[in-house]
A and B are shown apart, each in its own frame.
Chain A
Amino acid sequence: MSATNMPQGVTPISHAIYDLHMTVFWICVAIAVIVFGVMIYALIYHRKAAGHKAATFHEHPILEMVWAIIPFIILIIIAIPATKTLINMDDSSDSDLTVKITGYQWKWKYEYLDQGISFMSNLATSQDEMQNLTPKNKWYLLEVDHPLVLPVGEKIRFLITSNDVIHSWWVPALGVKKDAIPGFIHEAWARINKPGIYRGQCAELCGTNHGFMPIVVEAVTKPEFEAWVKQQIKSPASAGTIAIPQKPLSKDEIMSAGKTAYEKNCSVCHKDTGLGMPPTFPALKGSKIATGNIKNHIDIVLNGKPGTAMQPFGKILNDQDIADIITYERNAWGNNTGDIIKAEQIKAARNQQEKTK
Chain B
Amino acid sequence: MTSEATIAIPLYLKPWLFFKRWVLSTNHKDIGTLYLLFSLLMFLVGGIFALLIRAELFRPGARIIDPELFNQMTTMHGLVMIFGAVMPALVGLANWMIPLMIGAPDMAMPRMNNLSFWITPLAFIILLSTLIMPGSAPNFGWTFYAPLSTTYGPPSTDYMIFAIHLLGISSILGAINIIATILNMRAPGMTLMKMPLFCWTWLITAFLLIGVMPVLAGTVTMMLMDRHFGTSFFNAAGGGDPLLFQHLFWFFGHPEVYIIILPGFGVISQVIPTFSRKKLFGYSFMVYATCAIAILSYFVWVHHMFVTGVPLAAQLFTMYMTMIIAVPTGVKVFNWVTTMFKGAMTFETPMLFAIAFVFLFTIGGLSGVMLSMVPADFQYQDTYFVVAHFHYVLVPGAVFAIISGIYYWLPKWTGHMYNETLGKIHFWLSVISVNVTFFPMHFLGLAGMPRRIPDYALQFANFNAIASLGAFVFGISQLLFVYIIFRSIRKGKPATAQVWEGAEGLEWTVPSPAPHHTFAVPPSLYENGITPPLHAKGVDAEGGGGI
Contact = CB atoms under 8 A, between A and B. Distances in A.
Interface of A: 2-7, 13, 16-17, 20-21, 24-25, 28, 31-32, 35-36, 38-39, 42-43, 46-49, 52-61, 63-64, 67-68, 71-72, 75, 78-79, 82-83, 85-87, 89-90, 129-132, 136, 138-142, 164-166, 168, 170, 172, 175-179, 181-184, 186-187, 200-212, 277, 279-281, 307-309
B208 to A, nearest CB: 22
B96 to A, nearest CB: 26
A203 B381 contact: yes
B345 interface: yes
B147 A166 contact: yes
A280 B154 contact: yes
A187 B306 CA distance: 13
A49 B210 CA distance: 46
A148 B444 CA distance: 25
A183 B236 CA distance: 5
Contacts of B370: 21, 24-25, 28
Given A209-B67, A211-B456, A75 B326 contact: yes
A131 B62 contact: yes
A203 B380 CA distance: 10
Interface in B300-339: 307-309, 312, 315-316, 319-320, 323-324, 326-328, 330-331, 333-335, 337-339
Nearest to B285: A64
Contact of A138 (B62, B152, B334, B458): B458
Interface residues of B, number: 103
B420 interface: no
Contacts of A89: 375, 378
A277 to B, nearest CB: 5
A46 B344 contact: yes
Given A130-B455, A208-B71, A212-B455, A54 B330 contact: no
Given A28-B369, A55-B278, A141-B455, A203 B382 contact: yes
B461 interface: yes
A59 B281 CA distance: 6
Nearest to A176: B378
Contact of A3 (B242, B323, B446): B446
A56 B497 CA distance: 24
Contacts of B369: 24, 28, 75
Nearest to B273: A58
Nearest to A66: B334
22 contacts: A4-B447, A6-B379, A6-B447, A24-B376, A28-B367, A31-B366, A35-B334, A52-B342, A57-B281, A57-B342, A64-B282, A64-B331, A75-B323, A79-B323, A82-B374, A178-B307, A181-B309, A182-B147, A203-B382, A204-B145, A280-B136, A309-B152
The 6 closest A-B pairs by CB, nearest first: A183-B236, A211-B453, A186-B309, A3-B447, A58-B279, A55-B342
Nearest to A24: B370
A89 B285 CA distance: 39
Given A130-B61, A208-B67, A277-B68, A35 B337 contact: yes
B71 to A, nearest CB: 7
B129 interface: no
B446 A82 contact: no
Given A47-B344, A206-B148, A281-B68, 13 more contacts: A5-B447, A35-B334, A43-B355, A59-B284, A67-B334, A166-B145, A168-B381, A183-B237, A201-B450, A202-B450, A212-B67, A280-B68, A280-B154
Chain A interface main SS type: mixed
B62 A68 contact: no
A175 B335 CA distance: 38
A182 B242 CA distance: 8
Contact of A203 (B374, B383, B458, B459): B383
A48 B452 contact: no
B148 A165 contact: yes
B362 interface: yes
B330 A67 contact: yes
Interface string B251-291: 00000000000000000000000001111111111000000
Contacts of A61: 285
B299 to A, nearest CB: 15
Given A178-B309, A201-B448, A210-B452, A184 B236 contact: yes
Given A31-B366, A54-B343, A140 B376 contact: no
A204 B443 CA distance: 19
Nearest to B328: A68
A130 to B, nearest CB: 5
B226 interface: no
Given A42-B337, A49-B346, A56 B279 contact: yes
A182 B148 CA distance: 11
B76 interface: no
